[in-house]
A and B are shown apart, each in its own frame.
Chain A
């Protein structure tokens, strides 16, 4: 990873934070808190040791040290699962790197031709279901 990344351009969900919903992001993002929903990023996702992520992650690159209880990764380039991380879900990637002590439960598959583009262009319906808080008219 480049060291000359400007910290001000990195979005960050710190520990002690909980977010439910949808994130669209042109740059990099770091998560140390709790996130439920859909993340669609054109950059890199770094999830710290204390991060808890559930939902769909659609990203160029991922460094994952946290926990995912339910969800799907679509990673256009490299998915790196660090030692100590715990992932339950589906992993789709171009390239995969797994450290010793990464706990993985689920399916692993290499992305097919249009799979990533499809995932990236239609944000998932699950996120919408959770925020229909009395907006019926």
Chain B
């Protein structure tokens, strides 16, 4: 009995190891799932994604992201942004930012515009001109609906 059990356990461990081996390549796939607007690239228009986005270039328009938006130091944005979580290090020249959950302003960022969020974090040396308001999920879903509809 005991031996049998031990054998079962070891088989399971082997199976687990196999699944771990099989899932190992996923991080590199995830890398491919992240949208990226590199430095030197400019997008003008409406953007909707179910994945994360990193912006180091320019964006003007409306952007919806069901995941995390990371805005790099050299990024310049203008328009309306609807995201679940946002890390912001760049420059915003007018518009609105809506975060379903956490909006995080990093040191060195410069924002002209209005911020709507559920949770808010600001580092020292963030520059921010505009209004702030706490919003709930229902309101977020309502304002983001026109852009998130692009995914359907």
Interface residues of A (CB under 8 A from B): 7-27, 29, 32-33, 37, 127, 131
Q: Which residues of A contact B36 (CB under 8 A)?
A: 8, 10-12
Nearest residue (CB) in A for B39 is A9
Q: How far apart are B143's CB and chain A's nearest CB, in angstroms?
A: 15
Of residues 114 through 152 on chain B, the ones whose CB sits less than 8 Å from some CB of chain A are 150-151
* B107: interface (CB < 8 Å): no
Contact present for A24 and B42 (CB under 8 Å): yes
Indicate with 1 or 0, residue by residue over B53-85, a CB within 8 angstroms of chain A CB atoms.
000110001000000000000000000000000
Q: Which residues of B contact A131 (CB under 8 A)?
A: 44-46, 61
Q: How many A-B residue pairs have CB under 8 A?
A: 86
* B31: interface (CB < 8 Å): yes
Q: Which residues of B contact A11 (CB under 8 A)?
A: 36-38, 41, 57
Contact present for B45 and A37 (CB under 8 Å): yes
- Contact sample, A vs B, 10 pairs, CB 8 Å cutoff: A8-B56, A13-B35, A14-B34, A15-B33, A18-B47, A21-B46, A24-B42, A26-B40, A32-B32, A37-B45
* B49: interface (CB < 8 Å): yes
- A10 and B54 CA atoms in complex are apart in Å by 11
Contact present for B41 and A24 (CB under 8 Å): yes
Q: Which residues of B contact A24 (CB under 8 A)?
A: 41-42
